[in-house]
Amino acid sequence: MAFSVAVAGASGYAGGELLRLLAEHPEFEVRTVTAHSNAGQLLIDVQPHLRSLAHLTLVDTSPETLAGHDVVFLALPHGASGALTAHLPAETLVVDCGADHRLESESDWAAFYGGDYYGAWTYGVPELPVAGGTQRSRLRGSRRIAAPGCNASTVALALAPGIRAGVIEPEDIVAVLAVGPSGAGKSLRRPNLASEVLGSANPYAVGGGHRHIPEIQQSLRWAGAANPTISFTPVIVPMSRGILCTATARLVPGTSAAAVRAAWEEAYANEPFVHVLPEGRFPRTSDVLGANTALIGLAVDEAAGRVVTITAVDNLVKGTAGAAIQSANLSLGLPETTGLSTNGVAP
């Protein structure tokens, strides 16, 4: 009865999180796990936390090993999915957790990534407020889904309600994110070393160069912004996972605080995974660790003329693997919440 699943890039952090969630999912059965340099090893030797999948062995990532599954999840470095998935049948559900299929603008792709451009797939953030509804309707039945960038979807979820409702200005957004290093993957680079991260807060991609910026702008355009601009700064902090996003936008003059709150509460009123906290409450990343939940706290700073949003997500779950599975549920007509928890692992 269950859908057969392959996970490509199963030795990385995003791949591991896909597998952790899939292992608890009643409608998916993981048949194949692939890797590059780790092919041939037992999965449990590379991902020792995945005890229930100890029977799986990593195989090479190739069109052949990925063929013959109902669902293929890809957790590969950007640039690796495009050629690979061209060979998969159209009826196979393919969910790419990499960046290759997120951007509709080829010029954005060229400016921020470069290399071959393979076109955009359905963007995997179901709750995203877009003109006249949410992204959810586009995901139903889609067989090609691009899971979001973790930072990008967090900023978009934080601000799209206000933009769609016309209560904040889409120009001059400022977002600063405290993020855990797991978002950077297992790449062996000096800034990813424990001694560099412990006891320190380290910014990167400062000043407009971060690859998630065009992805945020794309989402905000869907929400109604003509020409959104954003100052975006991520800061690595010493927690393995989590994003605490402070995203602010200028209040449209004359808007009441009540109207602001109403915009967000209406956007997410019936969402199982996105919650707007009551007045005066703000989330912490530990509240959502391991969960597919985004928590949003909201304040109107009259003196500064800005709406301030604080959003907490687990970068590996709601930011990546959870969004992928939630989108796959929608694609396949399963209940959207199947296999996904709303409760964080805290403390």
Instruction: Please pick, from the candidates 62, 137, 200, 256, the single residue that binds a copy of itself as defined by CB under 8 A.
Output: 200
Q: Which of residues 10-39 bind a copy of itself (CB under 8 A)?
A: 13, 16, 20, 23-24
Instruction: Please pick, from the candidates 15, 82, 170, 297, the single residue that binds a copy of itself as defined by CB under 8 A.
Output: 297
DSSP result, 244-256: EEEEEEEBPTT--
Structure tokens at 184: 């950077």
CA dihedral 246, 250, 254, 260 (to 10 degrees): -30
Instruction: Please pick, from the candidates 287, 322, 331, 339, the single residue that binds a copy of itself as defined by CB under 8 A.
Output: 287
Structure tokens at 280: 């005066």
Instruction: Please pick, from the candidates 182, 218, 320, 329, the single residue that binds a copy of itself as defined by CB under 8 A.
Output: 182
CA dihedral 319, 37, 65, 338 (to 10 degrees): -20
3-state secondary structure of 72: strand
Catalytically annotated residue among 53, 103, 145, 150: 150
Which positions from 242 to 261 touch a copy of itself by CB under 8 A, shown as an x/- string?
Answer: x-x-x-x-x-----------
Q: Which of residues 202-241 bind a copy of itself (CB under 8 A)?
A: 202-204, 206-208, 213, 229-233, 235, 237-241
Nearer to a copy of itself by Cβ, of 110 and 206: the residue is 206
For 28, 76, 219, 313, 330, the CA distances from 318, given in Å and listed in that order, are 18, 18, 16, 6, 15
Which has the closest alpha carbon to 21: 325, 310, 289? 325
**Any contact of residue 162 with a copy of itself (CB under 8 A)?**
no
Q: Pick the piece of the chain touching a copy of itself (CB under 8 A) from 95-103, 115-123, 152-160, 277-285.
A: 277-285
Residue 225 and residue 155 in contact, taking contact as beta carbons nearer than 8 Å: no
- Using the CB atoms, write b or e for 45-61: b if 16+ within 10 Å: ebbeebeebeebebbeb
Residue 6 and residue 31 in contact, taking contact as beta carbons nearer than 8 Å: yes
Instruction: Please pick, from the candidates 71, 197, 267, 328, the single residue that binds a copy of itself as defined by CB under 8 A.
Output: 197
Nearer to a copy of itself by Cβ, of 13 and 264: the residue is 13
Nearer to a copy of itself by Cβ, of 67 and 184: the residue is 184
Nearer to a copy of itself by Cβ, of 99 and 340: the residue is 340
Q: If you compute the radius of gyration of the chain from its CA atoms, what whole number of angstroms results?
A: 19
Q: Which of residues 317-346 bind a copy of itself (CB under 8 A)?
A: 341-346
Nearer to a copy of itself by Cβ, of 67 and 178: the residue is 178
Nearer to a copy of itself by Cβ, of 146 and 289: the residue is 289
> Has 245 been annotated as catalytic?
no
Which positions from 50 to 89 touch a copy of itself by CB under 8 A, shown as an x/- string?
Answer: xxxx------------------------------------
Rounded to whole angstroms, the Cα distance separating 148 from 95 reads 10
Q: Do you find a cis peptide bond into 347, omega within 30 degrees of 0? A: yes
Q: Which residues are catalytic?
A: 150
